[in-house]
Amino acid sequence: MTQPVAETVTVGPDARTIATLSRPGKSPGLIWLGGFASDMTGTKAEALDAFAARRGLAMTRFDYSGHGASGGTFAEGTISRWLEEARCVFDRTTGPQIVVGSSMGGWLALLLAQAHRDAVGAEASRLAGLVLIAPATDMTRTLMWEGMSEAERAALMETGAHQASSDYDDEGYLITRALIEDGDKHLFGDRLIETGCPVHIVQGVQDTDVPWQHATDLVSRLASDDVVLTLIKDGDHRLSRPEDIERIEAAIADIIAES
């Protein structure tokens, strides 16, 4: 079995060093977009790389700046920076691609789809499909800012940062004023989202970070596309159990079968 090739990509005028793992294989390739404060060696990413290897598919993973093996600091991270990195990694691939985005990566996957179609036109799009796992669309506004108390918002605006609690990290995670303000530039809001490709969403009903209603609302704004929503009644935000990963792999397999 071939092993993924580790490389680095330089992104942006500040020359951020982005670490990637690329597995050679056939189309459609898979591209993994991880979540906020996660990295490309997590359970789901590793499982999907093994899935790609079994099927002989190409797969690309990377760490956003300030994450994992990439350069930069987490506190400097914004949606604009991470989207720029995702676009750069996507543009280095060839042929049709299925973008698999988890949590924040789901939002970035939709933004990537929009930017790619705008850049090359609908007919030249290389997007074969999107698989969105608990997609945290518009998360900086609807899931972060609106979830804070008035005191937390005031402190964030005054100090520039807020340390939020997390069920998955005892130290919590950092939310910066720059992240919130930059995120407002990328909000989809209530408008329709045009991807031009099949979209499969996998969402846990027990998810306390991205409520399942967030996913059903997203489905209503993808009405013009081929959209499938799978709700896992006992699934949480991570969706990393073997049975959860099987559903994610099934969603990818369905898109491949349709293409």
Tokens of 74: 């987490």
Q: Please report which helix (H) or strand (E) contains residue 257, including its range.
A: helix 242-258
Q: Please report which helix (H) or strand (E) contains residue 101, including its range.
A: strand 97-102
pLDDT tens figures, 168-214: 667 788 999 999 999 999 999 999 999 999 999 999 999 999 999 99
* Among the listed residues 193, 198, 247, 242, the one whose alpha carbon sits nearest the alpha carbon of residue 222: 193
**Local structure of residue 141 (DSSP, 8 states):** I
The model's pTM is: 0.97
For residue 2, the model assigns a pLDDT of: 76
Q: Please report which helix (H) or strand (E) contains residue 43, including its range.
A: helix 43-55
Burial of 3 (0-12, 13-18, 19+ CB in 10 A): exposed
For residue 1, the model assigns a pLDDT of: 62
Q: Which residues are catalytic?
A: 103, 207, 237
DSSP three-state, residue 130? strand
Q: What is the mean pLDDT of each run of 10 residues along the chain (259 residues)?
A: 90 96 97 96 97 97 97 96 98 97 98 96 96 98 95 94 79 92 97 94 96 96 88 96 98 94
For residue 166, the model assigns a pLDDT of: 73
User: What is the amino acid identity at position 104?
Assistant: M
What the chain holds in terms of domains, given with CATH numbers, is 5-137+197-258 (3.40.50.1820)
**Checking DSSP bridges between strand 26-33 and strand 57-62, what pairing results, if any?**
parallel
- CA dihedral sign, ordered 79, 195, 26, 41: positive
